[in-house]
Structure 1
Amino acid sequence: MSLPGSQRIAGTDGSDFQHRERIAPHYRISTETKSRLRILIYLHLLLACLVFFQILTYHLPFITTLNIPRPHFWQYVWLITVLPSICGLLSMNRNDSFLMKTFFRGTVIFGLGTILTTIILNLSELFTFKKLKTNHQLEEVEPQTFLGFPLLVLWYIFLIITVQIHAFSLYMANILLHSWHQYKPTKQN
């Protein structure tokens, strides 16, 4: 900025600002990606709260008015992903690669690993449900429902949403790791 009453440099009309005040691309990418990853982690934590609420209400004996379905083993394992998610949130404050790698590995192992294994192992039940529904034999089997909806379909909707959140989170974490390591100064002794 110029001071009031100061002179402009001779030979310029003031349009030579194009080369100045540019943000380095890795800083811009890092900032944009951090905000997107935060949103994805908060969505994951919201889903984790829903699962935790389901587990908690199932195990509390005084809540009998809600017909809460029995929690599956994969839900307990999947809840471990809350810890890597917290590491992911903490890593963004100081561009901490170790915490981001912890988030990445924890999400792959306990998040995507658990969810994809659950999808694959229960796929036969989904096909059986679809077959019974198309043959109009679903009333004979009487599937487990929650609030009038088939529980199996609700779980698959949840699982597909969770896979997408984890996949996008891993993509954003990978971008951040590359952005942080690209211009890391090397130590010279």
Structure 2
Amino acid sequence: MSLPGSQRVTGTDGSDFQHRERVATHYRVSAETKSRLRLLIYLHFVLAFLVLFQIITYHIPLIKTINVPRPHLWQYIWVITILPSICGLISMNKNHIFLMKLFFRGTVIFGLGTIMTTIILNLSELFTFKKLKTNHQLDDVERQTFLGFPLLILWYIFLIIMVQIHAFSLYMANILLHSWQQYKPMKQN
């Protein structure tokens, strides 16, 4: 780097930058992807703690002043994804491939698997809700609401958001795994 007012070295026209060292692409990709994955995992934590809050407020009799809907089975299973997310955060500190694989598999099984199963199994309820709403027969059926909004619609909004968060986190985890495994030194026998 030159000081203001200094002259260029004689004998060069400034095009001799080709020989300089550069950061290897897998290190750059790893650093960029880690920050994005951390953001996605923190978003997952926020939504997981909302579900945990619902489960706790439903089961603890001291907090019965809030009318909280009964938790479904899929919520209990989905909350397990907090553990793989912790593994994912820990793995990024020192590029632990094993912990990142645990994050990947745990998110696929307990995260995406649970959410996609819930979406598919409850799709008929969503179509019934839409049919009743278009026929203006929704008032005849007792529906569950939370703060005036239909609970079924709120859950589907939540599920769609979580599908996106899990899908993007799996994409980022896959990039990190390829980046870390590509240049891992081979063990000598």
* Length-normalised TM-score, structure 1: 0.93
Q: Report how far residue 64 of structure 1 moved.
A: 2.3
What is the match of residue 162 of structure 1? Answer: 162
Alpha-carbon distance between aligned partners in 1 of 2:18 and 2:152, rounded to the nearest angstrom: 58
* Paired letter, 2:120: I
4+ runs deviating over 6 angstroms: none
Identity %: 82
* Paired letter, 2:117: T
What is the match of residue 132 of structure 1? Answer: 132
Structure 1: segments with no counterpart, 5+ residues:
none
Aligned residues between the structures: 187
Q: Which piece of structure 1 moves more, 177-186 or 66-75?
A: 177-186
Alpha-carbon distance between aligned partners in 1 of 2:63 and 2:187, rounded to the nearest angstrom: 59
* Length-normalised TM-score, structure 2: 0.93
What is the match of residue 81 of structure 1? Answer: 81
Q: Are 2:116 and 1:116 equivalent residues in the alignment? A: yes
Q: Report how far residue 17 of structure 1 moved.
A: 2.0
Q: Report how far residue 188 of structure 1 moved.
A: 3.1
Q: Give the 5 Å matches for 1:66-105.
A: 66-105=66-105
C-alpha root-mean-square deviation of aligned residues, in Å? 1.9
Alpha-carbon distance between aligned partners in 2 of 1:142 and 1:23, rounded to the nearest angstrom: 62
* Paired letter, 2:106: G
Q: Report how far residue 187 of structure 1 moved.
A: 2.5
What is the match of residue 37 of structure 2? Answer: 37
* Paired letter, 1:173: A
Q: Deviations over 1:58-84 (max 9, x none)?
A: 111122221100000110100100000
Alpha-carbon distance between aligned partners in 1 of 2:23 and 2:127, rounded to the nearest angstrom: 53
Alpha-carbon distance between aligned partners in 1 of 2:18 and 2:92, rounded to the nearest angstrom: 30
Q: Report how far residue 9 of structure 1 moved.
A: 6.2
Q: Report how far residue 21 of structure 1 moved.
A: 3.2
Q: Report how far residue 11 of structure 1 moved.
A: 2.8
What is the match of residue 182 of structure 1? Answer: 182
Q: Report how far residue 104 of structure 1 moved.
A: 0.2
What is the match of residue 148 of structure 2? Answer: 148
Structure 2: segments with no counterpart, 5+ residues:
none
SS at match of 2:113: helix
